[in-house]
Amino acid sequence: MLCRFVDENLIGSPDLHLMAPDGLKYPQPSIMYGRTDIVSVTPWLAPVVWEGTFNPVILDSIYQKKNISIAATVFAVGKYIMFLKNFLETAEQHFFVGFRVNVYVFTDRPKEVPEVKMAAGRELIVRSVPSSKRWQEISARRMELIQTLIEETLLNNVDYIFCLDVDSKFHSRWGTESLGGLVAVIHPGYYQDNRDKFPYERRPSSRAYLAPGEGDFYYCGGAFGGLLMEVHQLAKTCHKNFEDDAKENIEAAWQEESHLNRYMWTNKPSKVLSPEYLWQDFKPRNPEIHTVRFSGVIKNYAEVRPH
């Protein structure tokens, strides 16, 4: 049997060669029947992940064999520390359960990081960062810190990374179906809109500029990820473009989110996650959303953000 035995050393990326264990039984797949209320592939043939388009049993058994490990980054600066407990506790219940996960918390209040019991193989790592007077600055610095974390700590230790907003919590499974080279999440607020309504940066002087008629989807800055090297390239590019803009006194409309959207226009994500992967608690659930997996909690901006 060809390809029965694979030399792991030759298969460089955990994203390649999807090998299922022997003896796995599951319902027969079909290319004729399935969900018809949503689109589950982009025009460049990246899957769009929706409930009902994947079988978690197949995916988990493929990735268990690979013994992958996943890093998650979350920033909890200033009063946003109040969101951390819920984020971490629900991540334990729903985020890559049964896999090796390292959660990196960046905060200016390390003493206030809650004690959360982590399952075996899962770890919480706290990194101190300075506090900030402007919330835009906190958001902007994320890309730089992610870039540095990858270079200094994660290289050679971790396969995938996801970067997530702290003012959110998990409600159901977020797992191996989300793995891919470059992974973007569709923003829940704009997926039914015409692209001309997307809040992209519209000033040509910014490096985040997207012209009318450009852009595939509006992706959210609150969740993205993928293979380590892909996310490194993204973080490095967005950080540099943000800094170069700043030197010319320009700040993109939605800071890193604008730069992320500009990046994804040129560098197409190899997997796209539906708005199930970042809903908002204040939004009634639309009929095509069968499962809310992760969603932003309702917050009082005036209360939590520095002024």
Which sequence positions are flagged as catalytic?
257
Pick from ligand UDP, Mn ion, none: which does 166 bind, CB < 5 to 8 A by kind? ligand UDP
C-alpha distances out from residue 1 to 4, 5, 6, 20, 237, Å? 6, 9, 12, 15, 44
Footprint of ligand UDP (CB under 6 A): 75-78, 80, 135, 138-139, 165-167, 222, 296, 305-306
CB of 136 to ligand UDP, least distance (A): 9
Minimum CB distance to ligand UDP, residue 189 (Å): 10
* 101 is annotated as contributing to ligand binding: no
How many whole angstroms separate alpha carbon 41 and alpha carbon 271?
Answer: 9
CB of 154 to ligand UDP, least distance (A): 19
Q: Is residue 161 within 8 Å of 225, Cβ to Cβ?
A: yes
Compose the 153-192 pattern: x for residues touching Mn ion by CB under 5 A, - for all others: ------------x-x-------------------------
Query: Cα(9)–Cα(250) distance, rounded to whole angstroms?
Result: 46
CA angle 123, 127, 128 (to 5 degrees): 150
Residue, CB closest to Mn ion? 165
User: If you count DSSP H runs as helices and E runs as strands, how many of each does the chain have, helices first?
Assistant: 6, 11
33 is in an annotated binding site: no
* Annotated binding residue 167: yes
* Burial class of 229 by CB neighbour count within 10 A (0 to 12, 13 to 18, 19+): middle
Which residues would be at the binding site for Mn ion (CB under 5 A)?
165, 167, 222
| Binding-site residues from annotation for UDP-N-acetyl-alpha-D-galactosamine | 75-77, 80, 165-167
